[in-house]
């Protein structure tokens, strides 16, 4: 079953209306009945789900997300959908992947799903990453679920001919995810953890400075940590390098109608004036320097 509804801001369908969030062609939002193909444990906290989708859903772009109707779990029933960033999308195989942390009512319900079950997924939604033309070297710095959001960006950048350096942060090596996936895509991977102190902001900053001196970055991206966001903002200003960040945010509707996901942003990179934007449709990807910490 696929049911389309009008979208005020989504970015990837076939209508003539202009998108208010990205300045691109706005697309109809589709609600898909997706078949679960895999839902396996990655470590003690995270699971990797693969679902079969219609072709349109599998064309999701890096940084976009789906709004999932989660089934009941041991903790009860979640009445609102859960936003889930795209970990991978294959329009040929018609599959979409999610990497998610099992922590609340919604994701506990997702964790119970078995191959053959049907997942109600609304999307793809939101505005994804926009790599500037001619980008040569992309820096990805991510932690936790942010790794899921940035993995497709790495694959896209490499496909376009850019070099990718990925710095993966985690509490310990047991919680490092996506390293092999990124290496197989062609990225250079560095791992930092809390347990050995290598993720300490001062040490990480020194490491990034050294990497930039060796092979300068011309695009920065991050997701999953306020600390990493502030560090990349500092380095981006010092290096005069632009970038984008994907924001994690609780949402109500996911399509820009309810305004439950509004957050403050700088009007411009160097501005002291704030404006308010909806993460679901004007994001979840935003300019690195316009994003405020939380």
**C-beta atoms surrounding 132 within 10 Å:** 9
Mean pLDDT computed over 174-198: 95
85 annotated to bind ligand? yes
Question: What is the average pLDDT value for the chain, to the nearest integer?
Answer: 89
Q: What angle do CA 79, 54, 23 make, to 5 degrees?
A: 80
* CA atoms of 176 and 78, how far apart (whole Å): 28
Q: Chain centroid to CA 207: how far?
A: 24
For 211-246, the pLDDT digits (tens) are: 999 999 999 999 988 999 999 999 999 999 999 999
For 261-273, the pLDDT digits (tens) are: 999 999 998 888 9
128 annotated to bind ligand? no
21 annotated to bind ligand? no
Closest CA to 97 of 129, 124, 71, 126: 124
For 123-171, the pLDDT digits (tens) are: 999 999 999 999 999 999 999 888 889 999 999 999 999 999 999 999 9
163 annotated to bind ligand? no
9 annotated to bind ligand? no
DSSP string, 124-172: EESB---PPTT--EEEEEEETTHHHHHHHHHHHHHHTT-EEEEEEEESS
83 annotated to bind ligand? yes
Domains located in the chain, CATH noted: 2-125 (2.40.30.10), 137-287 (3.40.50.80)
178 annotated to bind ligand? no
- The pLDDT of residue 46: 95
- What is this structure's pTM? 0.88
106 annotated to bind ligand? yes
């Amino acid at each position: 079953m696929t049911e389309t509804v009008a979208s005020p801001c989504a970015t990837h369908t076939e209508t003539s209306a202009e998108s208010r969030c990205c300045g691109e062609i706005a697309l109809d939002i589709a609600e898909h009945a997706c078949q679960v193909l895999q839902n396996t444990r990655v470590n003690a906290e995270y699971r990797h789900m693969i679902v079969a989708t219609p072709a349109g859903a599998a064309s999701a772009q890096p940084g976009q997300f789906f709004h999932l109707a989660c089934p009941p779990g041991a903790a009860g029933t979640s009445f609102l959908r859960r936003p889930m960033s795209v970990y991978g999308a294959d329009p040929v195989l018609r599959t979409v992947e999610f990497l998610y942390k099992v922590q609340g009512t919604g994701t506990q319900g997702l964790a119970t799903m078995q191959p053959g079950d049907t997942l109600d997924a609304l999307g793809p939604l939101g505005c994804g990453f926009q790599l500037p033309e001619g980008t040569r070297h992309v820096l990805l710095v991510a932690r936790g679920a942010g790794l899921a959001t940035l993995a497709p960006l790495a694959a896209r950048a490499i496909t376009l001919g850019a070099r990718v350096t990925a710095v993966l942060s985690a509490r310990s090596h047991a919680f490092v995810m996506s390293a092999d996936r990124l290496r197989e895509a062609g990225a250079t991977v560095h791992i930092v953890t809390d347990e050995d102190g290598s993720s300490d902001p001062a040490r990480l900053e020194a490491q990034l400075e050294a990497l930039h001196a060796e092979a300068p970055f011309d695009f920065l991206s991050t997701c999953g940590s306020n600390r990493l966001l502030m560090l990349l903002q500092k380095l981006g200003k010092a290096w005069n390098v632009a970038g984008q960040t994907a924001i994690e945010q609780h949402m109500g509707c996911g399509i820009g109608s309810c305004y439950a996901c509004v957050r403050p942003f700088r009007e411009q990179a160097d501005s002291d004036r704030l404006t308010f934007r909806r993460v679901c449709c004007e994001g979840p990807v935003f300019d690195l320097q316009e994003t405020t910490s939380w």
